[in-house]
Structure 1
Amino acid sequence: MADEIYRWKTARQLNKGESLHSLRRSLLYAHEGGIRHRHLAAQTEQAWCLTLLTNAVVTWTTEYYSLAIAQMCTEDRAVDDELLAHISPARSKNVNFFGTINVEVDTELAKLDPAGYRPLRPRRPERA
C-alpha cells in the first residue's frame, strides 16, 4: 500500500463497486433498502429481482453511453480513452425511482430512430 499509483487504482475500483451498491440501494427503496421476507425462497426471489433490475439499468446506461460516444466521434469531438476508463454505468441520475410515468406509447415509438433508440439529449451550450 506504499505505492501511490496502486492505492489510486484500488480506490478507483472500490468506488466503482460502491456506485453499484448505491444503485442497488436506490432500487430497493420500497423496503427501505432491506430484504424483509422471512423465508429463504422469497428472499432469494427478491434478490434475483434486484439483480435483474440492476443489470437492466446498467445495460441501458452502457448502451446510451456508447451512443453518446459515437455521436461525439462523428462530431469530431475528442474522446479521451483515459477519461472513459473512469466512467461507471452504475449511475442512477437517469432513473425515476418514485412516482408513476405516463407514456403515450405511439408518440414515444414515433420518436425512435431506425435502430430503435431514443434520441440523445442535445448538447448544453458551453459557459463563457
Structure 2
Amino acid sequence: MRRAWLWFGSEGVSRRKQPQAQSETARCLTLLTNCVLLWNTVYRQEVLRQRQAGGCPVNEAHSEYLSPSRCEHINRLGKHSFTNPAQLDPSHRRPLRHSGD
C-alpha cells in the first residue's frame, strides 16, 4: 500500500512549514496506515478461519505471500456507513462479504 494513496489531500505533499506540524501530519498518516494494516490482518485471518471451518484446506506455507497492505476495499472518498453494533458478531467484527455480494 502506498501511504500517499491514503493521504489524498494536498496531493500527498505536506504544505506545513513548522517542523511540529509536519511531524504531526506524519504521525497521523502512520496511525492511519497502521489501522488499515491491522484491519486487513484481522479480517484476512477471519477469512482463512472460515475457509478452514468450511472444509477448504489452507496451506500455511502460502501465508508468507499474503500481504495486509491491500487497500482497494477502502472508501477514502465519499459516504461512509457505520454498522449498528447489534449487527456485529460476538468478537465485535462486521460480517464478511462473500463473493457476489
What are structure 1's unaligned runs of at least 5 residues? 1-18
**Pair 1:111-2:87 in alignment:** yes
Structure 2: distance between partners of 1:123 and 1:102: 20
Paired residue secondary structure (1:85): helix
Match of 1:49 in 2: 28
Change over 3 Å in CA distance of 1:28–1:86 after alignment to 2: same
Counterpart amino acid of 1:109?
P
Instruction: Please tell me the root mean square deviation across aligned C-alpha atoms, in Å.
Output: 1.5
Paired residue secondary structure (1:91): coil
TM-score using structure 1 length: 0.72
4+ long deviations beyond 3 Å = none
What are structure 2's unaligned runs of at least 5 residues? none
Give 1:123 shift. 4.2
Structure 2 counterpart of 1:61, from 27, 40, 52: 40
TM-score using structure 2 length: 0.89
Give 1:61 shift. 0.6
Q: Which moved more, 1:41-50 or 1:81-90?
A: 81-90
Structure 2: distance between partners of 1:114 and 1:46: 35
Structure 2: distance between partners of 1:31 and 1:82: 41
Counterpart amino acid of 1:113?
D
Higher-Rg structure is 1
